[in-house]
Structure 1
Amino acid sequence: MRADARAKRAQIIAAAMEQYRTRPASAVTMEGIASDAGVGIATVYRHFPSRAKLREACAIGFIDLFDEFLASTIAAFDAAPEEQWEQFVWRLVDYGVGMLVAELAAEIPAATDVEAAAARERFFAQVSELLEKAAAHGLVDPDLTPAELAAELIVVTRPMDAQFTELFPDVRGRLVRHLLAAWRCAPAV
Protein backbone atom coordinates (compact mmCIF):
# COMPACT_ATOMS: atom_id res chain seq x y z
CA MET A 1 0.00 0.00 0.00
CA ARG A 2 1.29 3.45 -0.91
CA ALA A 3 2.22 5.88 1.85
CA ASP A 4 -0.62 8.28 0.99
CA ALA A 5 -3.14 5.41 1.01
CA ARG A 6 -1.82 4.23 4.40
CA ALA A 7 -2.17 7.77 5.73
CA LYS A 8 -5.78 8.04 4.51
CA ARG A 9 -6.59 4.64 5.98
CA ALA A 10 -5.16 5.77 9.33
CA GLN A 11 -7.20 9.02 9.14
CA ILE A 12 -10.37 7.01 8.54
CA ILE A 13 -9.67 4.67 11.45
CA ALA A 14 -8.89 7.59 13.78
CA ALA A 15 -12.11 9.39 12.79
CA ALA A 16 -14.16 6.22 13.20
CA MET A 17 -12.63 5.44 16.59
CA GLU A 18 -13.46 8.93 17.80
CA GLN A 19 -17.04 8.63 16.57
CA TYR A 20 -17.54 5.18 18.12
CA ARG A 21 -16.02 6.51 21.33
CA THR A 22 -18.19 9.61 21.61
CA ARG A 23 -21.47 8.97 19.83
CA PRO A 24 -24.31 6.49 20.10
CA ALA A 25 -23.90 3.73 17.50
CA SER A 26 -27.04 4.93 15.72
CA ALA A 27 -25.37 8.32 15.12
CA VAL A 28 -22.21 6.88 13.55
CA THR A 29 -22.37 6.92 9.77
CA MET A 30 -19.84 6.15 7.07
CA GLU A 31 -20.54 9.63 5.64
CA GLY A 32 -19.81 11.26 9.01
CA ILE A 33 -16.60 9.28 9.34
CA ALA A 34 -15.55 10.33 5.83
CA SER A 35 -16.24 13.97 6.67
CA ASP A 36 -14.31 13.83 9.96
CA ALA A 37 -11.41 12.05 8.23
CA GLY A 38 -11.32 14.67 5.49
CA VAL A 39 -11.81 12.11 2.71
CA GLY A 40 -14.58 11.23 0.30
CA ILE A 41 -17.06 8.47 1.01
CA ALA A 42 -15.63 6.44 -1.90
CA THR A 43 -12.23 6.49 -0.17
CA VAL A 44 -13.79 5.09 3.00
CA TYR A 45 -15.45 2.26 1.06
CA ARG A 46 -12.27 1.57 -0.92
CA HIS A 47 -10.46 0.87 2.36
CA PHE A 48 -13.41 -0.63 4.23
CA PRO A 49 -16.07 -2.22 2.04
CA SER A 50 -18.38 -2.68 5.03
CA ARG A 51 -19.12 -1.15 8.40
CA ALA A 52 -18.02 -4.45 9.98
CA LYS A 53 -14.57 -4.23 8.37
CA LEU A 54 -14.16 -0.67 9.62
CA ARG A 55 -15.26 -1.64 13.13
CA GLU A 56 -12.79 -4.54 13.03
CA ALA A 57 -9.99 -2.12 12.08
CA CYS A 58 -11.06 0.17 14.94
CA ALA A 59 -10.92 -2.74 17.38
CA ILE A 60 -7.39 -3.58 16.23
CA GLY A 61 -6.48 0.10 16.59
CA PHE A 62 -7.92 0.17 20.11
CA ILE A 63 -6.00 -2.96 21.06
CA ASP A 64 -2.80 -1.54 19.58
CA LEU A 65 -3.29 1.61 21.67
CA PHE A 66 -3.62 -0.50 24.78
CA ASP A 67 -0.81 -3.01 24.29
CA GLU A 68 1.90 -0.90 25.89
CA PHE A 69 -0.38 0.52 28.59
CA LEU A 70 -1.64 -2.95 29.51
CA ALA A 71 1.91 -4.35 29.68
CA SER A 72 3.09 -1.50 31.92
CA THR A 73 0.01 -1.89 34.14
CA ILE A 74 0.74 -5.59 34.61
CA ALA A 75 4.43 -4.89 35.34
CA ALA A 76 3.64 -2.21 37.95
CA PHE A 77 0.53 -3.85 39.37
CA ASP A 78 1.88 -5.47 42.54
CA ALA A 79 3.48 -2.22 43.74
CA ALA A 80 0.11 -0.38 43.81
CA PRO A 81 -2.70 -2.82 42.91
CA GLU A 82 -5.74 -0.65 43.56
CA GLU A 83 -4.26 2.38 41.84
CA GLN A 84 -3.13 0.35 38.80
CA TRP A 85 -6.50 -1.41 38.53
CA GLU A 86 -8.51 1.80 38.68
CA GLN A 87 -6.20 3.54 36.19
CA PHE A 88 -6.67 0.61 33.82
CA VAL A 89 -10.48 0.70 34.09
CA TRP A 90 -10.68 4.47 33.70
CA ARG A 91 -8.34 4.37 30.70
CA LEU A 92 -10.63 1.77 29.07
CA VAL A 93 -13.57 4.06 29.75
CA ASP A 94 -11.81 7.19 28.48
CA TYR A 95 -10.66 5.51 25.28
CA GLY A 96 -14.11 4.16 24.53
CA VAL A 97 -14.25 0.46 25.22
CA GLY A 98 -17.71 0.53 23.62
CA MET A 99 -16.17 0.50 20.15
CA LEU A 100 -15.14 -3.08 20.81
CA VAL A 101 -18.70 -4.40 21.11
CA ALA A 102 -18.58 -6.49 17.96
CA GLU A 103 -14.99 -7.59 18.40
CA LEU A 104 -14.87 -8.48 22.10
CA ALA A 105 -18.23 -10.06 22.83
CA ALA A 106 -17.65 -13.75 23.50
CA GLU A 107 -20.88 -14.79 21.80
CA ILE A 108 -19.89 -13.30 18.46
CA PRO A 109 -17.96 -15.69 16.21
CA ALA A 110 -14.22 -15.12 15.97
CA ALA A 111 -13.14 -12.44 13.57
CA THR A 112 -12.66 -13.65 10.02
CA ASP A 113 -9.56 -11.52 9.67
CA VAL A 114 -6.46 -13.32 10.97
CA GLU A 115 -4.90 -10.08 12.24
CA ALA A 116 -8.07 -9.18 14.15
CA ALA A 117 -8.36 -12.65 15.66
CA ALA A 118 -4.70 -12.58 16.77
CA ALA A 119 -5.05 -9.09 18.27
CA ARG A 120 -8.20 -10.15 20.10
CA GLU A 121 -6.50 -13.26 21.54
CA ARG A 122 -3.44 -11.26 22.63
CA PHE A 123 -5.63 -8.60 24.27
CA PHE A 124 -7.73 -11.18 26.14
CA ALA A 125 -4.62 -13.03 27.33
CA GLN A 126 -3.16 -9.83 28.79
CA VAL A 127 -6.48 -8.81 30.35
CA SER A 128 -6.81 -12.32 31.83
CA GLU A 129 -3.37 -11.91 33.43
CA LEU A 130 -4.39 -8.53 34.84
CA LEU A 131 -7.68 -9.96 36.16
CA GLU A 132 -5.77 -12.73 37.95
CA LYS A 133 -3.60 -10.12 39.64
CA ALA A 134 -6.64 -8.01 40.53
CA ALA A 135 -8.45 -11.06 41.94
CA ALA A 136 -5.46 -11.90 44.14
CA HIS A 137 -5.86 -8.44 45.72
CA GLY A 138 -9.65 -8.68 46.12
CA LEU A 139 -10.33 -6.07 43.43
CA VAL A 140 -12.45 -8.42 41.31
CA ASP A 141 -14.19 -11.76 41.63
CA PRO A 142 -11.79 -14.50 40.46
CA ASP A 143 -14.47 -15.72 38.04
CA LEU A 144 -14.72 -12.39 36.18
CA THR A 145 -13.72 -12.97 32.55
CA PRO A 146 -12.29 -10.43 30.11
CA ALA A 147 -15.48 -10.67 28.03
CA GLU A 148 -17.63 -9.98 31.10
CA LEU A 149 -15.41 -7.06 32.09
CA ALA A 150 -15.70 -5.62 28.59
CA ALA A 151 -19.45 -6.21 28.41
CA GLU A 152 -20.12 -4.52 31.75
CA LEU A 153 -17.95 -1.53 30.89
CA ILE A 154 -19.57 -1.29 27.46
CA VAL A 155 -23.07 -1.21 28.95
CA VAL A 156 -22.31 1.53 31.47
CA THR A 157 -20.11 3.66 29.23
CA ARG A 158 -21.70 3.59 25.80
CA PRO A 159 -22.23 7.08 24.46
CA MET A 160 -25.59 8.61 25.24
CA ASP A 161 -27.58 11.10 23.24
CA ALA A 162 -26.99 14.78 23.93
CA GLN A 163 -30.25 15.32 25.83
CA PHE A 164 -29.58 12.48 28.27
CA THR A 165 -25.98 13.62 28.74
CA GLU A 166 -27.20 17.13 29.51
CA LEU A 167 -29.69 15.84 32.09
CA PHE A 168 -27.25 13.44 33.75
CA PRO A 169 -23.68 14.60 33.00
CA ASP A 170 -22.10 12.49 35.75
CA VAL A 171 -23.97 9.22 35.18
CA ARG A 172 -21.10 7.45 33.38
CA GLY A 173 -18.63 8.19 36.17
CA ARG A 174 -21.09 7.11 38.85
CA LEU A 175 -21.81 3.85 37.05
CA VAL A 176 -18.12 3.05 36.61
CA ARG A 177 -17.54 3.72 40.33
CA HIS A 178 -20.46 1.37 41.10
CA LEU A 179 -18.86 -1.30 38.94
CA LEU A 180 -15.50 -0.90 40.66
CA ALA A 181 -17.24 -1.39 44.01
CA ALA A 182 -19.36 -4.30 42.79
CA TRP A 183 -16.35 -6.17 41.40
CA ARG A 184 -14.57 -6.15 44.78
CA CYS A 185 -14.46 -9.29 46.89
CA ALA A 186 -12.33 -10.80 49.65
CA PRO A 187 -8.73 -11.39 48.52
CA ALA A 188 -7.79 -14.93 47.55
CA VAL A 189 -5.89 -16.75 50.25
Structure 2
Amino acid sequence: MKEGSVRADARRKRQQIIEAATERFRRRSSSETTLEGIAKDAGVGIATLYRHFPSRADLRLACALNFIDTLRGFLDETLETFDDDPEAHWEGFVWRLVDYGVGALVWAFVDGQSQGVGPEVTDKRDQFFADVEVLLDKASDHGLVNPALGPLEMASELIVVTRPQGQHMDQLFPDVQKRLVGHLLAAWRQA
Protein backbone atom coordinates (compact mmCIF):
# COMPACT_ATOMS: atom_id res chain seq x y z
CA MET A 1 0.00 0.00 0.00
CA LYS A 2 1.34 3.43 -0.89
CA GLU A 3 2.12 5.92 1.85
CA GLY A 4 -0.43 8.46 0.54
CA SER A 5 -3.25 5.92 0.54
CA VAL A 6 -2.32 4.81 4.07
CA ARG A 7 -2.60 8.41 5.26
CA ALA A 8 -5.87 8.90 3.41
CA ASP A 9 -7.24 5.71 5.00
CA ALA A 10 -6.14 6.88 8.45
CA ARG A 11 -7.79 10.30 7.91
CA ARG A 12 -10.97 8.60 6.74
CA LYS A 13 -11.06 6.32 9.79
CA ARG A 14 -10.36 9.25 12.12
CA GLN A 15 -13.26 11.17 10.59
CA GLN A 16 -15.54 8.12 10.85
CA ILE A 17 -14.73 7.92 14.57
CA ILE A 18 -15.42 11.64 15.08
CA GLU A 19 -18.74 11.41 13.24
CA ALA A 20 -19.81 8.30 15.14
CA ALA A 21 -18.86 9.87 18.47
CA THR A 22 -20.64 13.13 17.66
CA GLU A 23 -23.77 11.21 16.70
CA ARG A 24 -23.65 9.24 19.95
CA PHE A 25 -23.14 12.42 21.99
CA ARG A 26 -26.12 13.95 20.16
CA ARG A 27 -28.43 11.02 20.89
CA ARG A 28 -27.29 9.67 24.26
CA SER A 29 -26.07 10.90 27.59
CA SER A 30 -22.35 10.98 28.20
CA SER A 31 -22.65 8.08 30.65
CA GLU A 32 -24.37 5.98 27.96
CA THR A 33 -21.70 6.76 25.39
CA THR A 34 -18.94 4.17 25.50
CA LEU A 35 -15.76 4.14 23.46
CA GLU A 36 -16.54 0.56 22.44
CA GLY A 37 -19.93 1.67 21.10
CA ILE A 38 -18.33 4.54 19.21
CA ALA A 39 -15.75 2.21 17.66
CA LYS A 40 -18.52 -0.19 16.62
CA ASP A 41 -20.59 2.62 15.07
CA ALA A 42 -17.50 3.88 13.23
CA GLY A 43 -16.75 0.42 11.85
CA VAL A 44 -13.31 0.26 13.46
CA GLY A 45 -11.75 -1.75 16.24
CA ILE A 46 -11.21 -0.27 19.69
CA ALA A 47 -7.43 -0.31 19.11
CA THR A 48 -7.91 1.91 16.05
CA LEU A 49 -10.00 4.32 18.09
CA TYR A 50 -7.29 4.50 20.77
CA ARG A 51 -4.57 4.94 18.15
CA HIS A 52 -6.36 8.08 16.93
CA PHE A 53 -7.66 9.23 20.32
CA PRO A 54 -5.61 8.02 23.30
CA SER A 55 -8.16 9.41 25.76
CA ARG A 56 -11.83 10.25 25.93
CA ALA A 57 -10.80 13.92 26.34
CA ASP A 58 -8.91 13.78 23.02
CA LEU A 59 -12.01 12.41 21.31
CA ARG A 60 -14.28 15.03 22.91
CA LEU A 61 -11.90 17.76 21.74
CA ALA A 62 -12.02 16.47 18.16
CA CYS A 63 -15.83 16.24 18.35
CA ALA A 64 -16.09 19.79 19.72
CA LEU A 65 -13.99 21.13 16.85
CA ASN A 66 -16.04 19.14 14.34
CA PHE A 67 -19.28 20.40 15.94
CA ILE A 68 -18.21 24.03 15.70
CA ASP A 69 -17.07 23.52 12.09
CA THR A 70 -20.52 22.10 11.26
CA LEU A 71 -22.26 25.05 12.92
CA ARG A 72 -19.89 27.37 11.05
CA GLY A 73 -21.10 25.81 7.79
CA PHE A 74 -24.73 26.43 8.78
CA LEU A 75 -23.91 30.03 9.66
CA ASP A 76 -21.94 30.72 6.48
CA GLU A 77 -24.78 29.35 4.32
CA THR A 78 -27.30 31.48 6.20
CA LEU A 79 -25.25 34.65 5.88
CA GLU A 80 -24.73 34.05 2.14
CA THR A 81 -28.44 33.69 1.38
CA PHE A 82 -29.95 35.76 4.19
CA ASP A 83 -31.01 38.78 2.10
CA ASP A 84 -33.00 36.56 -0.32
CA ASP A 85 -35.60 35.82 2.38
CA PRO A 86 -34.49 37.08 5.81
CA GLU A 87 -37.24 35.50 7.89
CA ALA A 88 -37.00 32.07 6.24
CA HIS A 89 -33.20 32.01 6.48
CA TRP A 90 -33.15 33.22 10.11
CA GLU A 91 -35.68 30.64 11.24
CA GLY A 92 -34.03 28.01 9.05
CA PHE A 93 -30.72 28.64 10.81
CA VAL A 94 -32.30 28.24 14.24
CA TRP A 95 -34.06 25.02 13.22
CA ARG A 96 -30.84 23.61 11.74
CA LEU A 97 -29.16 24.17 15.11
CA VAL A 98 -32.04 22.38 16.83
CA ASP A 99 -32.08 19.50 14.35
CA TYR A 100 -28.32 19.06 14.66
CA GLY A 101 -28.63 18.65 18.42
CA VAL A 102 -27.11 21.84 19.78
CA GLY A 103 -28.67 21.19 23.21
CA ALA A 104 -27.05 17.78 23.55
CA LEU A 105 -23.66 19.06 22.40
CA VAL A 106 -23.48 21.98 24.81
CA TRP A 107 -20.21 20.68 26.29
CA ALA A 108 -18.47 21.79 23.09
CA PHE A 109 -19.10 25.38 24.16
CA VAL A 110 -18.40 25.10 27.87
CA ASP A 111 -15.15 25.98 29.63
CA GLY A 112 -14.03 24.65 32.96
CA GLN A 113 -15.10 21.04 32.80
CA SER A 114 -12.79 18.60 34.52
CA GLN A 115 -10.93 18.17 31.26
CA GLY A 116 -11.83 21.56 29.67
CA VAL A 117 -12.36 22.12 25.99
CA GLY A 118 -8.98 23.71 25.34
CA PRO A 119 -7.83 26.93 23.72
CA GLU A 120 -8.35 25.71 20.15
CA VAL A 121 -12.05 25.13 20.83
CA THR A 122 -12.34 28.35 22.80
CA ASP A 123 -10.84 30.36 19.93
CA LYS A 124 -13.13 28.74 17.34
CA ARG A 125 -16.14 29.17 19.61
CA ASP A 126 -15.38 32.85 20.20
CA GLN A 127 -15.00 33.50 16.46
CA PHE A 128 -18.25 31.64 15.79
CA PHE A 129 -20.11 33.77 18.34
CA ALA A 130 -18.63 36.95 16.85
CA ASP A 131 -20.00 35.90 13.47
CA VAL A 132 -23.38 34.97 14.98
CA GLU A 133 -23.45 38.61 16.14
CA VAL A 134 -23.31 39.60 12.45
CA LEU A 135 -26.35 37.40 11.75
CA LEU A 136 -28.19 38.81 14.76
CA ASP A 137 -27.53 42.35 13.52
CA LYS A 138 -28.95 41.45 10.13
CA ALA A 139 -31.97 39.77 11.72
CA SER A 140 -32.50 42.81 13.95
CA ASP A 141 -32.46 45.10 10.92
CA HIS A 142 -35.42 43.09 9.57
CA GLY A 143 -37.34 43.06 12.88
CA LEU A 144 -36.72 39.35 13.44
CA VAL A 145 -34.92 39.75 16.78
CA ASN A 146 -34.67 42.38 19.45
CA PRO A 147 -31.45 44.39 18.92
CA ALA A 148 -30.46 43.61 22.52
CA LEU A 149 -30.30 39.85 21.87
CA GLY A 150 -26.67 38.73 21.98
CA PRO A 151 -25.16 35.47 20.74
CA LEU A 152 -24.48 34.08 24.22
CA GLU A 153 -28.04 34.79 25.37
CA MET A 154 -29.41 33.24 22.19
CA ALA A 155 -27.19 30.16 22.53
CA SER A 156 -27.98 29.73 26.23
CA GLU A 157 -31.72 29.89 25.70
CA LEU A 158 -31.63 27.59 22.70
CA ILE A 159 -29.46 25.08 24.53
CA VAL A 160 -31.75 25.05 27.58
CA VAL A 161 -34.92 24.38 25.56
CA THR A 162 -33.31 21.76 23.32
CA ARG A 163 -31.41 19.65 25.86
CA PRO A 164 -32.60 16.05 25.74
CA GLN A 165 -35.30 15.55 28.35
CA GLY A 166 -35.35 11.80 28.47
CA GLN A 167 -37.57 9.14 27.02
CA HIS A 168 -40.41 9.57 29.54
CA MET A 169 -40.76 13.30 28.84
CA ASP A 170 -40.53 12.69 25.09
CA GLN A 171 -43.37 10.19 25.34
CA LEU A 172 -45.57 12.52 27.40
CA PHE A 173 -44.90 15.62 25.31
CA PRO A 174 -43.42 14.61 21.95
CA ASP A 175 -43.70 18.12 20.50
CA VAL A 176 -42.49 20.11 23.50
CA GLN A 177 -39.13 20.99 21.97
CA LYS A 178 -40.76 22.27 18.78
CA ARG A 179 -43.21 24.38 20.78
CA LEU A 180 -40.49 25.82 23.02
CA VAL A 181 -38.29 26.80 20.08
CA GLY A 182 -41.34 28.44 18.48
CA HIS A 183 -41.87 30.40 21.72
CA LEU A 184 -38.22 31.45 21.68
CA LEU A 185 -38.42 32.70 18.10
CA ALA A 186 -41.48 34.77 19.05
CA ALA A 187 -39.90 36.06 22.28
CA TRP A 188 -36.69 37.08 20.50
CA ARG A 189 -38.76 39.38 18.26
CA GLN A 190 -40.21 41.31 21.19
CA ALA A 191 -38.92 44.85 21.49
TM-score relative to the length of structure 2: 0.82
- Cα gap change, 1:38/1:88 in structure 2, threshold over 3 Å: closer, same or farther? same
Using the TM superposition, give the Cα deviation of residue 54 of structure 1 relative to its aligned residue in structure 2, in angstroms: 1.9
Cross-structure match for 2:148: 143
Cross-structure match for 2:25: 20
Q: Which runs of 5+ in 1 are unaligned?
A: none
Which of the two has higher C-alpha Rg? 2
Residue pair 2:75, 2:93 contacting (<8 A) in 1 also? yes
Return the structure number with greater relative CO, CA threshold 8 A, min gap 6: 1
Once residues 36 and 165 of structure 2 are traced to their aligned partners in structure 1, the CA distance between those partners, rounded to angstroms, is 20
Determine helix, strand or coil for the equivalent of 1:98: coil
Cross-structure match for 1:3: 8
Residue pair 2:103, 2:161 contacting (<8 A) in 1 also? no
Once residues 131 and 76 of structure 1 are traced to their aligned partners in structure 2, the CA distance between those partners, rounded to angstroms, is 14
For residue 140 of structure 2, what is the amino acid of its counterpart?
A
Determine helix, strand or coil for the equivalent of 1:140: coil
Using the TM superposition, give the Cα deviation of residue 111 of structure 1 relative to its aligned residue in structure 2, in angstroms: 4.2
- Cα gap change, 1:168/1:8 in structure 2, threshold over 3 Å: closer, same or farther? same
Identity over aligned residues, as a percent?
Answer: 59
For residue 66 of structure 2, what is the amino acid of its counterpart?
G
What value does the CA root-mean-square deviation take over the aligned residues?
A: 2.4
For residue 95 of structure 1, what is the amino acid of its counterpart?
Y
Using the TM superposition, give the Cα deviation of residue 87 of structure 1 relative to its aligned residue in structure 2, in angstroms: 0.1
Alignment size in residue pairs: 184
Residue pair 1:23, 1:160 contacting (<8 A) in 2 also? no
Equivalences for residues 63-78 of structure 1 within 5 A: 63-78=68-83
Using the TM superposition, give the Cα deviation of residue 86 of structure 1 relative to its aligned residue in structure 2, in angstroms: 0.5
Deviations 1:38-61 (A, max 9, x none): 222332233223333322212221
Residue pair 1:128, 1:145 contacting (<8 A) in 2 also? yes
Cross-structure match for 1:50: 55
Q: Does 1:112 align with 2:113?
A: no
